[in-house]
Amino acid sequence: MPQPRRSKKFGGSAAHQRLMLANLAASLFAAEGIETTEAKAKALRPIAERLISKAKKAQTGDAAALHKIRQIQAYLNDKEMTNKLVKNVAPRYMERNGGCVRILKLGERNGDRAPMARIELV
């Protein structure tokens, strides 16, 4: 019996899905809001929340802070976005316990009627 899947595949392998969500997360932190399909936005939200939580823990300045920064860098694979996340985005959410990302439904896309959503930082 095959192993149950934890999330949607989006028409690709697990490696493709991880890279696609990493690119979406980097774009989200760069622009602080992107438009994508609802399914991708719903899959991106827990990843973005987890990355923001790691960036918040990297603000402590102890030995674990460097480890958290390296974990974020390993996932995003973009030094510039890692720096922006740790230095600019995370300090805004230090007093907030989760709920840093908002999904707004936009309606359907003209070409294929796919449900679209805007995902943004609160």
Q: Could you read off the pLDDT of 23-45 as tens digits, one per residue?
A: 999 999 999 999 999 999 999 99
Chain position carrying tokens 């402590």: 60
Q: What is the pLDDT of residue 47?
A: 95
Which architecture does CATH list for 14-121?
Answer: Alpha-Beta Complex (3.90)
DSSP string for residues in 74-121: HHH--HHHHHHIIIIIGGGGTT--S--EEEEEEEE-TTT--EEEEEEE
Q: What is the pLDDT of residue 4?
A: 66
Q: What is the pLDDT of residue 40?
A: 95
- In this predicted model, which residue has the larger pLDDT, 6 or 10? 10
Q: What is the pLDDT of residue 85?
A: 95
Which residues are registered as beta bridge partners of 115? 108
Mode of pairing for the β-strands spanning 115-121 and 33-37: antiparallel
| Confidence band for 98, pLDDT divided at 50, 70 and 90 | confident
Q: Nearest 5°: phi and psi at 34? A: -135, 160
Q: What is the pLDDT of residue 2?
A: 67
Of the candidates 111, 97, 109, 90, which has an alpha carbon nearest to the alpha carbon of residue 40?
Answer: 109
State how far the Cα of 58 lies from the Cα of 66, in Å rounded to an integer.
7
This prediction's pTM: 0.89
Residue 69 has pLDDT above 70, yes or no: yes
Do 10 and 40 meet the contact criterion of CB atoms below 8 Å apart?
Answer: yes
